[in-house]
Each structure stands twice: as C-alpha cells, then as structure tokens.
Structure 1
Amino acid sequence: MTHPLRLPAFRLLFLGRAISTLGDAVVPAALAIAVTRATGSAGALALVLGCAMVPRLLLLPLGGVVGDRFNPRLVALVTDLVRAAAQLAVGIELLGGEPRLAPIAVAEAVGGVASAFAMPTASPLVAAAIDGPLRMRANALIASAGNAARLGGPALAGVLVYTAGPGWAFVLDGASFLVSAALLTRLKVRHTPGERRSLRADLTQGWSEVRSRDWYWTSLIGHGVWNGAAAVLLTLGPLIATRQLGGEGVWIAMTQAGAIGVLTGSLLAGRFRPRRPVLVANLGLALYALPLTTLALTAPAPLTVAAYALAMTGLGFLSPVWQTVVQHEFPPQVLARVTSYDWLLSLAAAPIGYTLAPLAADTWGDTGPLLVSAALVAIACAGTAAVPGVRRIGRPVTVEAAPASDAVDTASAPTRDREAPGDAVRRDPTIPA
C-alpha cells in the first residue's frame, strides 16, 4: 500500500492545509494582544471575535449548499483568497501605527463569512483526493499536522508580537492563505455534482441525510454537548488552577498537556483501527468528564493535568476517525451540507457554555457547573453506545485504492462507484478504514 503523500492530489492538499493552519494558529494570541493594546478593552476584543463568529454560524448551512453545488476546490480557492485579503488588511492596519477598531472588525467579519464557505469543503476535498483504505491515514496526517501547528502557533505568535509586532502575525496568516490558494490551483480532483434544486430543497435534503442515520445525529448531539462542556472548563478552569491548584503554571501545564494529547490522539488514529470506530471514538470523547470532575473536586494538580491530557487524546483520536467514516458513509453530492450541519452544532454549543458557565458559577459556585457538565458529557457521548447504528457502523470495506488525483477536474468526469445510503450499514467489521 502506497503512502498518501505519494499521491499528487493529496500531497498538494496536505501542504496547503498544513501551511494555512500554521498561519491561523498564530492569529488568536496576536489578535488578543493587538486589540487590547489598541483599546485596552475586553469588550472590544469580544466585539471583534463576535464579528468573525456570528456570520460564520449564520452562513454555514449556505456554505454547505455551495460546497455541494460547485466544485469544492474552486470554493476553497476563492475563500482562501478572500481570507488572505482580510488578514493582510488587518496586518496593514496594525502596522500603520495607530490601529482603529472598525477596520479590524470589518476585516474579521469578512474572514468569518469566507470561513463559513471554506469549512464545509475540507471533507469533500479529502474524499475526492483519495479513496480506499488510505483515507484513514490521510485524515490522520492532516489532523496531526494541524495539531502540531496549533501546538507551535502560540510560541511563534509570541516571537512575532514581541519582536516585530502583532501586525506581522496577520501578514504571515494572509501569506499562508495565498500559498494554500496557489497549491489549490494545481489540484486536480473529481467533482460529482448533485441535481440542481432550490436553496430550500438543498438545505432540506442535507438535513434529511443527517436525520436518516441514527449514528450520525446522535453522535452530533454528543459532540455538541462536548463543545459546550469544553467552554465551561475553559471559562472556569483558569481561575481554579490559579487560585486553588498552585498558580498560573498549572493552567499553562494543562493547556500544553492538552495540546500534546490532541496531537497524540491524531497520531494514534493513523495506527489503531478499532472494529467499531464511531463507538470507540465517542467513548474516547466521554473522557472529558475526567478533567471536569478533577477541577470540580480540586484534585491534586498532577492528576488534573494528566486527566486533561487523556481527555484531549480522545478528542485527537475522534477527529480523523470521524472524518473518515463520514466521508465513506455519505454520498459525495451531500458531503459538504452534512459537514456544515456538523460544524454548525459544534460551533453553536461553545458560546452557550461560555455564557452559562460564569452565571452558574456566580449562583452555585464552580463545583456545580463543572460536575453537571461532566455528567452531561459522560451521558451524551458514552450514551451513544445504546444507539444501534453506532454499534453497527464498522470499519469501511477495504478496496484497492483508487486515488482521485488522476481524475479530471470537471463536472462531466465519471463518478466513483458508491453504495446507496440504504446500504451504509453493510460493513465487514474486520476490515480497517
């Protein structure tokens, strides 16, 4: 079996994703420092972050429709160019000496709109670039590269901010999107367009695909609960670590251990191939109840750090496994829409956690919200084991790899043979994904 990076289409896609993810990993820290330096206001930072988040949430379903109607390579290329322009605009504003809040907020809103159309194209592009048993390894490679970039991104941001200024972090991010766009111009993948319908019909069809698979929508509920609980931990955890577990260093150790855990999980996903991938991945996600509980009970710092590392390893394992199963189980004509609903639920759950956590903590103290979140995560994620589809979905059938890198990038290209949705549960559980 050849290595995924030996396939030209996947190699281009991998390089583009890795470079743009590294650029993105630099931005959060640089944005926080830049806005607080310019305004001295936490409210201003919240405004800028909201300008990016709100249009992303509102437009994700539309982005899924566009990703299915048009070639996802073209959509990804255009959105990379738009995001490059937005980040370069922020960089130029910051390098001007006296940055203004309004242009930064507008540029971040434009970037948020573009990301709503870009995010649903990620899974269809991988599915189009590589087929067969190599897809699991390909998804694990992308996840590992992204997690490594996020691990090193904050350090790179610190170097840029304190040597050249935060504006250069945005210039770097803009340049990374330009490189990704350049690589996409060389990418040749097969596109299988679906039947043209009205916008409402396309949205309805995508939602019907989600509802028709019990393993998918029940897992999405668990993933949404996980994101809400993660927001609770990220809101209450820093103060608990600082005031009760030994200081700021404990929280820093937790975040670093979590980043290492995510990277470890994604590497593990490329080698460990369970017979019931969705079930095992969801059970791994339920491990997030551990750090929530240790924080609630103010357990010793080493135990809390270890629990967080283990929980984030479960997250790192889930991501490539989930992507591989979804790419195999859904027809390519609806993959972007299905992915957009996945992103929508995940992103929408986090603000709920951020909003409710401090309110609940002020009323009942930190222990209550953390323990409730731990119970919800355990029930929602581990509870999917009771769903027949979750237990039934096995590893996709191994067939001879037929990389789509040799296909023609046109709507008239022949489509890959693919089973009908109703045949999705017919799997040989002994075959790796």
Structure 2
Amino acid sequence: MARDLQVKETSTDPPLWTADFLLFLTARTISLLGDAMLPVAITAAVIRAGYGTSGVGYALAALVAPFAALIIFGGVLSDRFGARRLMVVSDTVRLCFQAVLALLFLLGTPQLWQILVLLALVGAGSAIFQPGVASITPRVARDVQKANGTLRISESVTAVIGPSLAGLLLVVSSPATVVALDALTYGVSGVCLLLLRSVPMGPAGRSGGSSFRADLVEGWREFRARTWLWSVIVVFMLWQLAGAGPTMTLGNSTLVTDYGASTFGLVMSSLGAGSVLGGIVAIRLRPRYPLRAGALSMILWSLMPLGVALGLPAPLIAGCYGVSGVGMAFWIVMFHTSVQTHIPQDVLGRVHAYDAAGSLVMKPVGQAVAGPLAVVAGTVPLLCVSASMAFVACALLLAIPAVRGLKRVER
C-alpha cells in the first residue's frame, strides 16, 4: 500500500546554506556545466572527424536515448544501494568513458561506432545519476523549495554559460581537449559528493531484502497511487508532444534561418536569464497550493512559440523567451518541491525516475514529427498550436482536484 510522508518541523533543522548543501550545489552545478558543454564539444569533434550532420545526430541520440531508456532502472538502483553512492559511481563511470573518448579524438579519428558506444555509456551513467538528485535535495536542505529554486538558478546559468564556454574553448583548442576538460567536471562533482556528511552512502530506511523486480513494481505502485502526480505527467506528455517538442524544432530553426545565429544566441541567453529570475521568484513566493500556482505560471510559456509565429522583432522575441523562462522555472520548482516533500524518502528515487521518464518520453516524438508536419501545415500554424497547448495544459491541470488542491508541505 502507498504510504504518506509524515513531516515534522523542528527548531534544530539546519539552515539552507549548510556545508553539505554548498557541496551538493557545487557538485550539481559542475555536473550541469559538463552536461551543457558536452553537446557542443561532441558536435565539433564528430564533424571534424568527417562524419557530418548525420554523425552528429547519431552521436547526440546515443547520448540521450540510454538516459531515457534506463532512468527508471536508475531509480531502483538509487533506492536499493543509496543515492549518494550511485551518484559517485555515475560520476566515476562518466569520467572514465569520456576520458577514453577524448583520448581517441586526440590520437586520431575514432570509428563512429566507438564514439556511439562511449557516448551511450556516458548517457547510461547519467540515468544512474539523475534519480539521486531528487533523493538528496530534501536531505541536505531544510527548506526544500528554496533549495530547488537555487538549483534551478544554477541549472539556468550553466545552460547559458556551458555552450558559450565550450565554444570559446574550441576557438583556442581542439575538440578533444574540450571533451577532456568536460570529463573533468564529473571528477569534481564526484569529489564534492564524497565529502557530504549528512547523507549516508547506503539506502535510506530500507527493511528486508526485496528483489529488483519487486522494487520496480513498488516504485510504480507508489507513483500510480498519487493521482496528482500521474495526472501531471499525463498532461505533460501531451504538452511535450504538441507544445514543447515542436517549439524546440520549429522555433529554433526559424530563429536561425530568419534572424541569424547571433539573434538565436541572444534569445537563448534571454531564456536563461528568465529562468534565473523564475528561480528567484520561486524562492520568494510560497503559495499554499504550489501546483495550482505553477499551472497558472505555465501560461507565460505560450509567449515563446507565439513570438516566433508572429514574426516579432528580435528584441521582442528575446523578451518573450525571457518571460517564458520565468514561467517554466517557477513551475519546475513548484513541481519538484511537491514531489520531494510528499513522497517517502525510501521510494523517492524510483518515483522521481518514473515522473522524469514520463515527462521526457514524448518530447523527442514532438521534435521528430514537427518538421514533416510543418511541410504540410506550415510552421506558423504549428507554432500557434504549440502556444495554445500552454493554455490547454493549464486548464487540464486546474481541472483535476488532486492537482489544484495539493497543499504545500513545509520541510
């Protein structure tokens, strides 16, 4: 039977900015910086190796596909063996495999299959790492919402800085050097995680020796038992398919072809700045019903595809992306905080893995079908449909009593 988390507040709880939270924030920031640099470094390395745009597509798919396929199993492993232990193992594995990849590029031109296999192993390592983020956050921070807001700011900053840093490094060095430096970020992250003191290496509060399959089923049972959680994921699958996925493909392509690469960079920077502001807002505002407030903030996302569809001047499109970033960052903090404060610690990794997999599974489908559909229906109509999906998603979320009625839990 699904369990409800009992939360008690005590005056002896540590403040947000403890040594362990700073170590965790550093580990997460450095890891995210590496994640943001890697696609740029791999793109440059694969093209220089002579495999062209098709090779780049295969390489990026090899990096992402194992993550989507294995994250649920990563959640089970995280709960069985301990989130901190699995994150350190993940950082070590990714450091080793990416270092080998850098060495292959440095020594000559590796075979495409070698690149794909090593990137797939790096992606599998990320699937082991990610569930632990949700499990550790509520254990190193007294105020989970502020912690998530701070982590969201970090994620937004690295999303902007990472590609730019990789690009600058490519100007003064080779792709192999950038891949190697990127690999070192996993080493720094692993060291920071090793230094944590308030989070044990082993699993949290497990009793008995259940099988892997039983743990997998228990995670699904806990996920399914919470109507507010699976309802959000179902709505987000629809939004990713018809909203976010097509917008990433068509919006980005339109910006590059019609406005130029420099404008695209400006717009992406504005999106990152908006996400930082959204994280700050999420730290400050503490709505009684977080998912209700988060759903309303999603309406702001509609400005992203709408600005491109209307053919607005570049500064206005940048402004639209910035406001969209505010709305989405606020939603992400509200949702992650709700998950981390309402789910029992000993199943949190598995439940988070199910919600992450469900949230992401339809996005690549939306990205893939957007191009062919645009040929038939046109880019502008599809972007308008994507914009309307923000309102549809908001309406659906608010129509579900379990979602709009979920109260904030102080933890």
Q: Shared fold by TM > 0.5?
A: yes
What secondary structure does 1:174 align onto?
helix
Q: Is it true that 1:164 corresponds to 2:173 in the alignment?
A: yes
Q: How much does 1:176 deviate?
A: 1.3
Q: Distance in 2 between matches of 1:61 and 1:370?
A: 32
In structure 2, the CA distance between the partners of 1:247 and 1:59, relative to structure 1 (3 Å rule), is closer
Q: Is it true that 1:207 corresponds to 2:220 in the alignment?
A: yes
Counterpart residue identity of residue 362, structure 2: A
Counterpart residue identity of residue 384, structure 2: L
For residue 235 of structure 2, what is the aligned residue in structure 1?
222
For residue 60 of structure 2, what is the aligned residue in structure 1?
49
CA contact (8 A) 1:72 1:121 kept: yes
Q: How much does 1:172 deviate?
A: 1.7
Match for residue 236 of structure 1 among 233, 250, 274: 250
Q: Distance in 1 between matches of 2:362 and 2:208?
A: 32
Q: Which moved more, 1:50-59 or 1:358-367?
A: 50-59
Q: Distance in 2 between matches of 1:353 and 1:157?
A: 28
Deviations 1:217-262 (A, max 9, x none): 1212233334332221121123433555x44443232211111111
Deviations 1:112-164 (A, max 9, x none): 11111111111101122234xx2221222222122212221122111211101
CA contact (8 A) 1:219 1:282 kept: no
Counterpart residue identity of residue 345, structure 1: G
Q: How much does 1:88 deviate?
A: 1.2
Q: Distance in 2 between matches of 1:89 and 1:284?
A: 44
Q: Distance in 2 between matches of 1:333 and 1:116?
A: 18
Q: Distance in 2 between matches of 1:308 and 1:224?
A: 22
Q: How much does 1:2 deviate?
A: 6.2
Q: Which runs of 5+ in 2 are unaligned?
A: 1-12
CA contact (8 A) 1:70 1:193 kept: no
Match for residue 84 of structure 1 among 84, 89, 95: 95
Deviations 1:4-52 (A, max 9, x none): 22x2322221121112222222211111111112124211111111212
Q: How much does 1:266 deviate?
A: 1.2
Q: How much does 1:195 deviate?
A: 4.7
For residue 182 of structure 1, what is the aligned residue in structure 2?
191
For residue 292 of structure 1, what is the aligned residue in structure 2?
305
Among the aligned pairs, what percent are the same residue? 31
For residue 28 of structure 2, what is the aligned residue in structure 1?
17
Match for residue 405 of structure 2 among 392, 398, 402: 392
Q: Distance in 1 between matches of 2:408 and 2:207?
A: 26
CA contact (8 A) 1:265 1:316 kept: yes
Q: How does 1:74-153 map to 2 (within 5 A)?
A: 74-131=85-142, 134-153=143-162
Deviations 1:182-222 (A, max 9, x none): 22222231522255433333222222222222221121223
Q: Which moved more, 1:93-102 or 1:83-92?
A: 93-102
Q: Which runs of 5+ in 1 are unaligned?
A: 399-433
Q: Distance in 1 between matches of 2:120 and 2:301?
A: 32
Deviations 1:290-324 (A, max 9, x none): 22223233344433322221111112222232222
For residue 311 of structure 1, what is the aligned residue in structure 2?
324
Q: Provide TM-score, normalisation by structure 2.
A: 0.90
Q: Is it true that 1:4 corresponds to 2:16 in the alignment?
A: yes
For residue 332 of structure 1, what is the aligned residue in structure 2?
345
For residue 3 of structure 2, what is the aligned residue in structure 1?
none
Q: Distance in 1 between matches of 2:305 and 2:44?
A: 28
In structure 2, the CA distance between the partners of 1:206 and 1:300, relative to structure 1 (3 Å rule), is same
Q: Distance in 1 between matches of 2:43 and 2:213?
A: 38
What secondary structure does 1:39 align onto?
coil
Counterpart residue identity of residue 112, structure 1: G
CA contact (8 A) 1:124 1:336 kept: yes
CA contact (8 A) 2:152 2:279 kept: yes
CA contact (8 A) 1:221 1:380 kept: no
In structure 2, the CA distance between the partners of 1:23 and 1:274, relative to structure 1 (3 Å rule), is same
CA contact (8 A) 2:95 2:187 kept: yes
For residue 9 of structure 2, what is the aligned residue in structure 1?
none
Q: How does 1:243-322 map to 2 (within 5 A)?
A: 243-244=257-258, 246-322=259-335
Q: How much does 1:328 deviate?
A: 0.7
Q: Distance in 2 between matches of 1:142 and 1:82?
A: 24
CA contact (8 A) 1:225 1:377 kept: no
Q: Which moved more, 1:224-233 or 1:120-129?
A: 224-233
In structure 2, the CA distance between the partners of 1:295 and 1:223, relative to structure 1 (3 Å rule), is same
Q: How much does 1:271 deviate?
A: 1.3
Q: Distance in 2 between matches of 1:290 and 1:267?
A: 20
Match for residue 383 of structure 2 among 370, 386, 389: 370
CA contact (8 A) 1:93 1:99 kept: yes
CA contact (8 A) 1:20 1:173 kept: no
Q: Distance in 2 between matches of 1:115 and 1:149?
A: 17
Match for residue 355 of structure 2 among 338, 342, 345: 342
CA contact (8 A) 2:59 2:119 kept: yes
Match for residue 35 of structure 1 among 32, 46, 50: 46
CA contact (8 A) 2:160 2:268 kept: no
Deviations 1:337-381 (A, max 9, x none): 111012112221221011110010011111232222222332123
What secondary structure does 2:410 align onto?
coil
Q: Distance in 1 between matches of 2:296 and 2:91?
A: 35
Counterpart residue identity of residue 324, structure 1: T
Q: Distance in 1 between matches of 2:217 and 2:326?
A: 35
Q: Distance in 1 between matches of 2:368 and 2:273?
A: 28
Q: Distance in 1 between matches of 2:65 and 2:253?
A: 27
Paired residues, number: 394
Counterpart residue identity of residue 150, structure 2: L
